[in-house]
Structure 1
C-alpha cells in the first residue's frame, strides 16, 4: 500500500468565514444533543469531532482501527476482516478518494480530526486504554471508515452473505400541501439499522451564519447524512440497486481467460500483524486483481472475482452530503445530488416551497443484460460483461411533485413510490432495479395515501402504526378456516388470530402467536394469487392450500403452549426494549410481515426477546415560515461508558412518542445541560 504523509491536525482556515456574532461553543441539551455554534466551518467541524468523541469516544476509535485493517494488530481479533479489506482494495480506494477530494472537503475532515484528537488528549482518562492504540486519528481514517461502512458493510457483505441477522432498511414519506392541514410540506426520516457498532447514528445541530442544519450522521463521519435546514430537508432509504457482482473466471498459472486469451493477474502482497499472547506475528495477504474485479476465491481452474462500485476512488460521498446540507432551494439541492457520489440510497425530499422529490441515487452500473442475469455468479470470459461506468443522476429514476401529493419508500423499487405511478418499469433498463412491492411498503403506501389534512402530530401518529399488512391480508382466509376444522387447539388459535386487530403494541394478545406462525410458514409461497404490478398494494392474496395452513396453525399453537403455556401473552411481556440500564415493553415487529413500525428482536434470557435492528433515528419535519420538527434517537445519543444519555430516549420509544427538536437558541437555553467553549478544547 502506498504510504501517505498527512498533516494530522493543522488548524486550516476554511473559506466561508463570516462576521457572525456567534461565539464558538456547544450548547448541550438535556437529551445529549450538541447544538454547535461556529463563526466558520473550521471551528464548526472541530467542535463536531469533539462532540462525537464526548458521546462515542471508545466506539469511534474502535471503528477507525477496524477500518485501517488493524484489528488483528491492535486487539488480536477479526483478522478475516483485515484480510478482506486489503484483498478487495478498499484501503487503496479510500486513499485515492482522499487524494482526489476538493480542498474544502479535506479541510473539513482535518478540522473534524483535530477535534477528535484534542478531545482524546484532554480526556485521556475517560477512554478505554485498549483503544488508545488508534491515536492519533488521521484524516484518511475518516475515509477508510466511510468506505468500510458504505461499501463493505452496506454493499459487499450483503452480497457475500456474511451478515445473517439484519438487512438494511428504512422508511420515508414526503407529502406536500395537498395532504396537509397547513398547506406545508412534511418529511419523515425513519432509517432502520442495527442498534450497535458502526450502524449507530449521532444526532447534532450545526449552526453558522450561513446555515442552520439539523440531523444525524453515522458515528465517525463529519457531515450530516439525513438532515433539514430552514428551507428544505432530505432522508435516505436503502434502494434496490445491484452494484456488486460476481464473475466465475477460468484460470491457469496466475492468468485468467478474457476474450479468448489468458491474461496475467495483477498480484500484490502486503503484511498484516496479528497480535498473540506473546508477540506480533506477521502474515502476508495476497491481493489479485483482474479486469473483472478482485479475486475472492480460487478452486482448481476456476476463480471468483468481485466487482464493486468506486474501486477507482473517484467519488466523494462526504462532499455530496455537505453540498446537500448547504442547499437552500430545490435547484441547488438537485445540483448536489447530480454529483451522484453516494454509493447507494434513495433520496426523499421536501421543502418550504411545497416541493417534494424522489430520486433513486447511487452508483448504478450500466450493464450488459437484464436484472436476472446479474443475480448470481456469472460465468464469463467476455469483456462485454465488465461494467465500465455508471448512469448519471439524470438517467436514474427520479421525479418531483407527483399528482398524488405524496411519496413513500420502504426499500421497494422506485416504481411503487407513489400512485398513480409517476415512473414505470418500462422506462428503464431492468438491470437498474427489479419490480416488486413487499408487505412493509404496501403498508407504508396505504397509510399515507389514505391520509388527508394532516397535522404534524397526525403525521407522527401514522408513523407509529403497528399493524401488520400480512396479518390484515389473511384475516378473511383465517376466518374461513374455522369452518374446515374441528380440532379444539386449532380453533382456539384461529379465534385468537381473528379477534386480534393485527397490531404489535405492548398490550396486543395475538401478535406473539402470529409471529410464531410466520416463523413456521414464512412470508410467502402459500398464496393462491401472486403479487402483481397491476394491483401492487392488494396482492398477493388467498391461501393456495388450506390443509397445509391448518396443519401449520395447529403445530404453532402446540409449540407455543408447550413453551409459554398461553396462546394470548401480551406482546410487551415477551418482546422487550433494553438499552443500558433501561428496559421497557416492546412494540413493532419485522418489516417482512408488513409493519411500518419496524423492530427485529433476538432471544435473550428467560424466554424474552430484545431489539437488535429497527427504528433508530426518526425525525418528522414540517416546512413552513418556521420549520417545526420532532425526533427520536431510539437508543439514545451516546454509547460512552458513564454518559447519562445511553438509552435515555428508550421510554419515549416504548410509548410511541417523539420529542421536540429544539431548533432555536431560545429553546436550547431553556433545556440546557451545559456549555462548552471552543477556546477550552
Structure 2
C-alpha cells in the first residue's frame, strides 16, 4: 500500500512552491535507490518514495557505522548480559549490563514497539521498513566476518526487524527521562530487605520465594553481592546532563547583510556511540531535498539540516520531560496508595534475562513495580533519599515514552518549505522529545520553539509548583520536580499543545545555548510558561553569555552578519570567563608573588611560575595559545557565587554576575588548578594544540587501544564560557570499549578531575560535532559545515578520521555539496541499489 500526501513548498534545488506528491511505500514492494558518495564519504541518496529512500539510507549508514546500531539493538532487546556477562567492564562487578537489560524491559520499549508498530503512520512504517531492509542488505552482502573489526564475527550482530528499530527509537526519545531513572527503578522494593535483588528464575517456585532460593547457587549469590556493592556507589541522575548540549543561532532579515535568513548549527555531542551524528543528503525529486546530520538509526530523516528554502537546528532543552510523584501509601499495605477518595493498586511485573556466566548461561528474574503514573523508583537503602517507606513511595511519569510521532515530526520538518509549513509540523505532532528548535528561511524569518514532550498540567498545579516552598525547595535541591501523588490536581492532561509551548518569531535573531527559553532574545525576554520548560528570568550560563556577546560584537562595522562572519565567530574559540577576569586574576596572582597558597587540605602551592605563564595566555583556546590549560583548570574550580562580587541582575543578564573578587578563595581556586597541572607533569607554557587532541580507538582481541594518531584540537569547555566546546567525556553507552587515558586525581577531592585532564593532556571525546553555517542566496542555500569526528566509526574506512584531520589542520568548516550538478561533479563512488538484484 502506498500513501500519497499533497505538500506545498518542497522544491528540488529550485525556488518553486508547487504542490508535490509524496509516496510512502515502493510500488509492488520493489525498492530502488541511487547512492552517490562525494568528498569525505557523504552519501547523496535519491529515490522515488520514502521506503526506497530509507533503503538507500540504511545501506549507506550501515557501511559507515553498522556496529553502533547493532550494539543498540542488543541493548533494547535486553541481551547485553546474555552476550557479554553482567558487567560492562568484564569482571569488575559493576552490574551495568544487568541494570540495563532489566531496565529496558521495565521501560517496555520492546513491548511498546510490538504493540504500537502496526498503528504507526504509513510514512513512519515505510521509512522504518526501508531502513531495516537497507541495513540488512548491507549485513548480508558484506558478511558478518568482514564487518568493522569492532563487531566482526560477533554472534550478537544479526539482521534487525522494524519492531526492534522502533524500540530503539522509543529508547532514544527517553534518553533524557526514563533512561536516567532505570537505576532508581532497579532498587525499588516495597519490603525493607534485599528483595530488589535479581534472583534465579525457577518457574516451579512461587514468585515470593524465588529470590530466597538462590542462596545455594554461588554464581547468583556473587551477582547479588555485586549489585549490593553497586548500590553503595549510586548517585542521583544529573539533570544538567553533564556537558551534553549545543549552541544554535537563527538570524533574520534585520541581522543579515542580504536580508535573508542564516542558521548556525553547533550541537555538542559525543564522538563515539549512538549519539554520533551521521551526515547525508536525501532527495525525492520534486518533493524532498534536504541535507544534514542524523542521530544513529533514525531512519531516512535529517534531524539538523537545511533544504532549498529553510534551515533549522536543535539544542538540548532545559525542559523536564517527566515528573516524580510522591505517593501516600495505605496503612499496612505498601502496594496500595491513596488518590483523591479512592485507593489504587501498585502492580508488580517480573522480567527475565539471560546472563553469561563463564561458559554457562543462567536466567535471572527481577520484580518491578508500577503505579498508574509509571515505574516505581527508590534510592538504594544506604542513601534513603527517596525511600519506599511504610507511608510514602515515589513513582515516575515519563512524557517521552511511546513516542509514535518522532519520525513523522522530523519528516514534516524536512518537507517544510516555508514558515507556515514548519510551524504546522509542531501543531500536528509531538515527536521532538528533548530539544529546542531554531529556524530561519530564505525570506528572513527567525523562529524559536521549545515543543518538547512536556506534561500538560493545569494552571493551579503550575502556580503551586512556582510558589509552594516545599515544591520549590525540592526542585532546587534535586533538579527535578516531586509532585503530590495523592490528588488528581497534579494529574496531567496529555502533553502540552503548540499554543502552550514557548516560541518567538523575530526579524533579528533567536538563539539558545541550553539555558531555558526565557533569554531566546534579550530584546524580548519571555516568561510565564509552564515551569516544566525551565526557570525564567534566572542567571545565564557563561556559554550563553559568550554566544550573546558574539552576536553583539562579531558582525563587523555594519552590525549585520554574513556567513563568513558567523563561521569566524564560532571558531574564534573565545571564552567568556577569560574575557571578564583574566587581567584581574593575573594582578591578584602577581600580588601573591612566591608566597605559597595554602589549600583547605593543608597543601601549600607556589603559583609564581604559573602566574608568569598566564601572562602569555591570549584568552582564547586556539592551538597556538600558550598556558590555556592553566586557565582551563582554574575555570573548573571557579564558583560564580563565591568568586564574583557583582550579583545577577535580571535587567542586565548578559553582564551579571561579574567582577572577580580579590580574596583568598580565588587564589585557592587558582592554586588548586596549578597543583593539578603540576601533578599531570605538563609544561606551564605549553600551547594548547600540544596537549588537547582527538585520537581514535582501535578494537582488537586485546580490547581497546589508542590508535597513536593524535590530531591537535582547538576549542574550550563549557566551564570557561567557551562557545566552540570540547571535553574528554567518559566512555559512552556502547558494548565495545573506548580507549581513555587515566585521569589525574584532584588534589583537593581525590576524585578524577572534571576537566578530564590526564598525563597526556585532554583526550577529546565530546563537543562540537555536526557544525554548519547556511545562508540563503538567489541561487539557493550556501552552506559550509563539518562533522568533526568524521563520517565513519569503522577504523578500516577511508573516512574514519579525514574530517578530524581537516579540523586539526584548518580550524574551519568545509563547503557542503548540495546542488545536483555539484554532486555529479564530486561523485567518488556510486551504487544503484535495488531489492530485485543480488
Q: TM-score, normalised by structure 1?
A: 0.91
In structure 2, C-alpha distance between the alignment counterparts of 1:540 and 1:158, rounded to whole Å:
34
* Distance (whole Å) between structure 2 residues aligned to residue 165 and residue 324 of structure 1: 26
State the shift of 1:362 in Å.
Answer: 0.6
2:830 partner SS: strand
1:145 and 2:168 are equivalent in the alignment: yes
Indicate which of 142, 158, 181 corresponds to 2:257: 181
CA deviation string 1:272-291 (max 9, x = no partner): 22233333322223232112
- In structure 2, the residue matched to 1:370 is 465
In structure 2, C-alpha distance between the alignment counterparts of 1:229 and 1:486, rounded to whole Å? 58
CA distance in 1, matches of 2:500, 2:362: 50
Greater mean deviation of Cα atoms: 358-367 or 380-389: 380-389
Residues 1:101 and 2:120 aligned together = yes
Task: Name the counterpart of 1:465.
Answer: 572
**Aligned twin of 2:202:** none
Aligned pairs (5 A) from 1:481-630? 481=588, 484-487=591-594, 489-497=606-614, 500-522=617-639, 524-544=641-661, 546-561=663-678, 563-564=680-681, 566-579=683-696, 581=707, 582-601=709-728, 604=741, 606-625=759-778, 626-630=780-784
TM-aligned CA distance change 1:430 to 1:162, over 3 Å: closer
CA contact (8 A) 2:624 2:688 kept: yes
Structure 1 residue corresponding to 2:322, chosen from 223, 226, 244: 244
Give the deviation of 1:241 after TM superposition: 0.5
- CA distance in 1 between counterparts of 2:664 and 2:795 reads 54
Moved more, 271-280 or 39-48: 271-280
Query: 2 CA distance for matches of 1:651 and 1:541?
Result: 38
* Matched-pair contact (CA < 8 Å) for 1:238–1:346: yes
Query: Deviations for 1:69-89, whole angstroms, at most 9, x for unmatched residues?
Result: 222224334121111112233
Please tell me whether the aligned partners of residues 61 and 132 of structure 1 are also in contact (alpha carbons under 8 angstroms). no
Asked whether 1:71 is paired with 2:55, we answer: no
Check the 8 A contact 1:46/1:116 in 2, yes or no.
yes
* CA distance, structure 2, for counterparts of residue 434 and residue 165 of structure 1: 16
Cα separation, partners in 2 of 1:370 and 1:131, compared to 1, 3 Å: farther
SS of 2:545's partner is helix
Kindly tell me the number of residue pairs found equivalent between the two proteins: 664
Determine which of 302, 306, 310 is the counterpart of 2:396: 306
Do the aligned partners of residues 491 and 279 (structure 1) sit closer, same or farther apart at CA in structure 2, a change above 3 Å counting? closer
The one of 71, 76, 79 aligned to 1:62: 71
Does the Cα contact within 8 Å between 2:177 and 2:398 map onto a contact in 1? no
Post-superposition CA distance 1:41-86 (Å, at most 9, x none): 2211111111111111121111111122222224334121111112
- Residue in structure 1 matching 2:35, options 22, 26, 30: 26
Match of 2:297 in 1: 220
Match of 1:662 in 2: 817
Shift of 1:563: 4.1
Answer whether contact 2:171 2:179 (CA < 8 A) is retained: no
Report the Cα distance in structure 2 between the residues aligned to 1:420 and 1:636, rounded to whole angstroms. 38
Does the 8 Å CA contact 2:263/2:774 hold for their aligned counterparts?
A: yes
Runs of 4+ in 1 over 6 A off after TM superposition: none
Change (3 A) 1:350 1:578: same
Counterpart for residue 134 of structure 2: 115
Match of 2:584 in 1: 477
Q: CA deviation at 1:13?
A: 4.8
- 2:198 corresponds in structure 1 to none
Match in the other structure for 1:632: 786
Q: Pick from 283, 286, 300 the counterpart of residue 207 of structure 1.
A: 283
Q: Distance in 1 between matches of 2:518 and 2:123?
A: 37
1: CA distance, partners of 2:789 / 2:574: 23
The 5-angstrom pairing of residues 15-54 of structure 1 reads 15=4, 16-17=22-23, 24-54=33-63
Deviations 1:452-494, CA, capped at 9 Å, x for gaps = 3322222111111211101212135325525753436545544
> By how many angstroms is 1:248 displaced?
3.5
Q: CA deviation at 1:299?
A: 4.0
Range with bigger deviation, 634-643 or 372-381:
372-381
Task: Please report how far the alpha carbon of residue 97 of structure 1 lies from its aligned counterpart in structure 2 after TM superposition.
Answer: 4.3
Question: What's 1:6 paired with?
Answer: none
Q: Deviations over 1:567-586 (max 9, x none)?
A: 32211212112235542212
Q: Give RMSD over aligned pairs.
A: 2.8
Q: Does residue 193 of structure 1 match 2:269?
A: yes
Verify: 1:414 aligned to 2:517, yes or no.
Answer: yes
8 A Cα contact 1:73 1:273, kept in partner: yes
Q: Using the alignment, how far apart are the partners of 1:165 and 1:41 within structure 2?
A: 34
Q: Deviation digits for residues 518-545 of structure 1, max 9, x if unmatched?
A: 3334455322222232111111112446
Q: Aligned ranges for residues 76-475 of structure 1 at < 5 Å?
A: 76-77=85-86, 78-124=97-143, 125-127=145-147, 128-129=151-152, 131-153=154-176, 156-157=179-180, 161=236, 166-209=242-285, 210-222=287-299, 223-251=301-329, 252-259=333-340, 262-297=343-378, 299-301=388-390, 302-311=392-401, 313=402, 315-338=404-427, 339-367=429-457, 368=461, 369-370=464-465, 372=472, 375=475, 376=478, 378=482, 380-383=484-487, 384-402=489-507, 405-421=508-524, 423-425=525-527, 427-435=528-536, 436=538, 437-450=540-553, 451=555, 452-475=559-582
